[in-house]
Amino acid sequence: MTEKIKIRGRQVLNGVIPISGAKNAALPLLAASLLSSEKILLKNVSPLADVGTMLSLLGEMGVRYVVTDDSPYSSTIELHADSINNFVAPYDIVKKMRATILVLGPLLSRFNECTVSLPGGCAIGLRPVNYHLGGMEALGAKISLKDGYIYAEAPRGLKGAEFEFPTVSVTGTENVMMAAVLATGKTILKNAAKEPEIVDLASCLNKMGAIISGHGSDTIEIQGVTSLHGVDYLVIADRIEAGTYAIAAGITGGRVDLIGGNFRELLPCFIDKMTQAGLIFSDIDNGIRVISSGTIHPIDIETAPFPGFPTDLQAQSMAMLCLADGTSNIYETIWENRLMHVAELSRMGAEIKVSRCDQTCVCHACVTGVEKFQGAPVFATDLRASFSLVLAALAAEGETVLDRVYHLDRGYCAVEHKFKTCGVTIERIKK
């Protein structure tokens, strides 16, 4: 069944939005359940398609789990990895979601072997996994690639070592950190990612008995232990979802209270930039208030690893800057092909010129503000791009129909419900 979303333009967001648990924290936490034979209880998990994909992979391996929906936007998941009988992540599941590579570290660490399909390229970039594999090899794993699969083994167990990531990698850091927790001796990860989701994973692993320090800095130290115990853990709020709804308030000239996290700490650069663009942020209990000043100013953005401007908010920010009173420059430095929303935004009236900087994978979009968007049939090319089109549609004149909504459902839950409570109607068409 294909689904589309119909969006009437000129709507104003006004209300309170509870932010769900972070997708990019929940996925490694779910994979970490493979590290212990005891009960893992994860609370505040967002009911997303990507979470379902990770669960189906864990299920194939023998993890037993129960999902309890606490609300339309939050679930509790109980997992038991005490009878793992299959160490293979098959292509059919891996091709749906690259984050399934996150089972590599835990399986290798606890069971000394695993076979994981090589994730292919994806819409936003080539996305190789060489750093993940390099990190495992540094810990003593033997890796071979055959027939599209990664065969990894460490018959005598993994051994702590020093490994420096050539460039910062979020899931790479998570994968090698999970591999190192049950290795013998000490591991030092240099040029590690500092994202809040890394800190969340390390905090959960420490609660399970791991000995990790330095998470949140670029050097992480892991002292291996022999086993990990069960845990009851609350997933952090999704900073990307929060940023997305902040932009929804900005682009529609509205206001919103985002509840569920310390978003100033989670989104430092984003909040600075959006303040320059004309959004007004103020602290409220367990969250942040965002109010549109009525004008959108042009700004320059360069995406970077945390604490820099998140690539996962680039597309949504671009939608807003299309309506600024001047010209903005956006540099995408993480993913070489993450400007696919430009073509669709342009069909809605945006004026954007894209160029590729020589000898780097940096893409530059020069965005000249226009007075308005015009509703149009558009299609989503990837997760964050899909929401940029929803945002443009809310501000547009006329109606927009967004196709390929499955991209949106991978990373945003209960979108209609959350918008509705803020006076915004979007309609899902199933046929």
Under the binding rule (CB under 6 A), the answer on residue 176 touching ligand EPU is no
Nearest alpha carbon to residue 375 among 5, 4, 8: 8
Query: Shortest approach of ligand EPU to residue 303 CB, angstroms?
Result: 8
Query: Shortest approach of ligand EPU to residue 317 CB, angstroms?
Result: 14
Binding segment for ligand EPU (CB under 6 A), chosen from 109-117, 120-128, 207-215, 254-262, is: 120-128
How would you write 235-251 as a 3-class SS string?
Answer: CCECHHHHHHHHHHHHH
Query: Shortest approach of ligand EPU to residue 223 CB, angstroms?
Result: 24
- Contacts with ligand EPU: how many residues (CB under 6 A)? 23
Under the binding rule (CB under 6 A), the answer on residue 93 touching ligand EPU is no
User: Please, are residues 50 and 409 in contact by the beta-carbon 8 Å criterion?
Assistant: no
Distance CA 341, CA 380 (A): 8
DSSP string, 344-411: HHHHTT-EEEEEE-TTSS-EEEEEE--S--B--EEE--SHHHHHHHHHHHHHSBSEEEEE-THHHHHH
What letter does residue 167 receive in the DSSP assignment?
Answer: S
Residues 317-336 within binding reach of ligand EPU (CB under 6 A): 334-335
Under the binding rule (CB under 6 A), the answer on residue 130 touching ligand EPU is yes
Distance CA 238, CA 25 (A): 8
Phi, psi of 157 (to 5 degrees): 85, 160
Under the binding rule (CB under 6 A), the answer on residue 110 touching ligand EPU is no
Under the binding rule (CB under 6 A), the answer on residue 383 touching ligand EPU is yes
Of the residues 122, 204, 269, 366, which is catalytic?
Answer: 122
Under the binding rule (CB under 6 A), the answer on residue 175 touching ligand EPU is no
* Active-site residue, 357 included: no
Determine which residue in the list 172, 224, 243, 260 makes contact with ligand EPU, applying CB under 6 A: 172
Site string for ligand EPU, 23-62 (x = CB under 6 A): -x--x-----------------------------------
- Structure token pair of residue 263: 């978003």
Nearest alpha carbon to residue 348 among 383, 289, 297, 391: 391
Under the binding rule (CB under 6 A), the answer on residue 131 touching ligand EPU is yes
Query: Shortest approach of ligand EPU to residue 362 CB, angstroms?
Result: 11
Distance CA 399, CA 67 (A): 37
Under the binding rule (CB under 6 A), the answer on residue 412 touching ligand EPU is no
425: how many CB neighbours lie within 10 A of its CB? 12
Active-site annotation, residues: 122
What residues line the site for ligand EPU (CB under 6 A)?
24, 27, 99, 125-132, 167, 169-172, 311-312, 334-335, 383-384, 411
